[in-house]
Amino acid sequence: MSATRIASVTGRRLWDSRGRPTVEVEMTTESGASGRAMAPAGASTGTGEAVDRRDGGGAFGGFDVTGAVASVNEEIAATLRGMDAADQDGLDARLIELDGTEDKRRLGGNALIAASMAAAHAAAAALRMPLWRYLGGSDDSLLPLPEIQIFGGGAHAGRRVDIQDFMCIAVGAETFAQALDWTAEVYRAAGSLMAGAGKLRGVADEGGFWPAFDGNEEALGYLTRAIEAAGLEPGGQMAISLDIAASEFGRGGVYRLARDGRDLDSGAMIDMLKGWLGRYPIVSIEDPLAEDDPKGLKAFTDAAGAAVQVIGDDYLVTNAERVRAAAAGGICNAVLVKPNQAGTLSETRAAFDAARAAGWGAVVSARSGETEDVTIVHLAVGWGAKQLKVGAFARSERMAKWNEGLRIADALDNRGALPPRTAFPWGR
Ligand code: 2PG
Ligand code: MG
C-alpha cells in the first residue's frame, strides 16, 4: 500500500454561486485520506480557454453537467485508480491524453480541473499536510496581496456599465488581515455613498455593488471617494485596479461603449484609459484591449506598462506558451492565473512558472461563477504568487476564500505578512 495511491474517484453534481450545476470530484487514497474540489465557471471567457462540458438542452438553461459528472465516474475514475495522487504532472498528463481534444471539451474542462485539484487535496491529506504547504509553502511564506471588487459590471451585471471589475488593492497594507480590514471599510463606504445618491441596487455576480452609474468613468469617481471616506489615502494606502474585460465589447478593433454611447477604435480606447490613469489612482489594468487586438495591447503596455501592471486574461488564458510569446512580444506584463482556463493544475503551474521566468507579475484568480472551494488560496500561498483576485468583499463564495487566507496567516511565523511594496510595479 502507498499512502497516496488513488483508491477511488467520485464525481457529483453540486451547485455554483449563480445557481448553476457544477462538478465536484472526491478522491480517496489507499491510506483512507480524501480530498475534494469543485469546478468554478466564467462568464466573460477567453476563446482559448478549456471548455466546460455542459449538457445543453432545456434543463437549467443548458448548463447541466450530468455528462461531465459521468466523465468523472466512468473514464476518469477508471484511469486514475491506482495512480499516485502525489504525481500531479503524471496524472494530469494522463487526463490530457485521455481527453484527446485541444480544448478538453470531450471529458470537459470542468471535470478535468475538479479531478486534478482533488488529487492535490487527497495527496496533501494523505501526507497530513495543509494544501498550501504541500504545494511548496513554508513557515515564512507570504500571503498574496488581495485585489478586491467594489463595483461589478460588464457580463457580471447585465452590462449595466461596460467595464467589468472596479477593484481596490491595499498597496500600503503590511498584512493580509490589514488589507482586508481596509477593504471592508471601503466596501462599506461605497455602499453608503451609493445609498446616499439613491443608486444602491444590490450586488452583481461577484458581490460588488450593482453599477447604477450614468457612465463608466462615474464609477471611478465613486470608488476614489469611497477610499477617502474610509479614511484611506488614495494611491498611497489604497489604489484602484480595473478589469476592462474589453473582449466583451470590442471586436475587430471597434470598442462599443454602450453606457457612454460611443464607439472607439483601439487608439481612442488607449487614450481614454490613459486619461483615467492621469485622473485616478489606478495601479493595475486587466484586458485593456480585446483578445483579438494584440497590437492594441502592446501599444497600451508600451504607453503605460512602466508604471502600471497590465494583466492579460482573455488573451493568455493561463497558457504557458502564450505567456512566453506575449512576454517576448511585450504585449502585457502580468498574467491572470485561473486553473479552469488551463484545465489541469500542472498546466496552471506551467503558466505561472512562465510568468515568473519572464519577470512578470501573476495574479491567481477566481471566476465569476464560484463555490465554497478555497483551492486557489492555497495555490497562491504555496506557489508564492504575490496577488490574489477573488471578487468582492461580500457573498460567502468570496468570503470563504478571504477567510481561508486569514486561517493560513495564523499558521505562519509572520502571521500573514504581504510581499513588500517594492515587489510590485507600483512600488518600483
Ligand atoms: C475575469 C473573471 C473574474 P469571469 O474576467 O477576470 O472577474 O470573470 O470568471 O466571468 O471570466
Ligand atoms: Mg478578466
- In the predicted model, what is the mean pLDDT of the chain? 98
Q: Spell out the CATH class of 145-427.
A: alpha beta
**Shortest-distance ligand to the CA of residue 365:** 1
**Ligand 1: does its nearest atom lie under 6 Å from the Cβ of 22?**
no
| Rg from Cα positions in the chain | 21
> What separation in angstroms does the CA of 347 have from each of 98, 300, 334?
15, 28, 17
Active site residue: 185, 206, 347, 404, which one? 206
Share of residues in the chain with pLDDT > 70 (%): 100
Share of residues in the chain with pLDDT > 90 (%): 99
Domain with CATH 3.20.20.120 in the chain: 145-427
**Ligand 1: does its nearest atom lie under 6 Å from the Cβ of 254?**
no
pLDDT in tens, 385-402: 999 999 999 999 999 999
Q: What is the mean pLDDT of residues 320-332?
A: 98
pLDDT in tens, 53-79: 999 999 999 999 999 999 999 999 999
**Ligand 1: does its nearest atom lie under 6 Å from the Cβ of 313?**
yes
The reply to whether 206 belongs to the active site is yes
The reply to whether 389 belongs to the active site is no
- CATH of 6-128 given 3.30.390.10, 3.40.605.10, 3.40.50.970, 3.30.9.10: 3.30.390.10
**Shortest-distance ligand to the CA of residue 243:** 2
pLDDT in tens, 262-285: 999 999 999 999 999 999 999 999
SS3 292: coil
Going from the Cα of 310 to the center of ligand 2, the distance in angstroms, rounded, reads 11
| CA dist., res. 44 & res. 34, Å (int) | 33
Rounded to two decimals, the pTM is: 0.98
| Phi-psi domain of 159 (left: phi exceeds 0; alpha: psi -120 through 50; beta: other) | left
Going from the Cα of 262 to the center of ligand 1, the distance in angstroms, rounded, reads 24
Domain with CATH 3.30.390.10 in the chain: 6-128
Kindly indicate the confidence band of residue 235, based on its pLDDT and cuts at 50, 70 and 90: very high
Neighbour order of strands in the sheet with 250-251:
250-251, 254-257, 262-265
Residue 162 grid cell: 461596460
Going from the Cα of 143 to the center of ligand 1, the distance in angstroms, rounded, reads 22
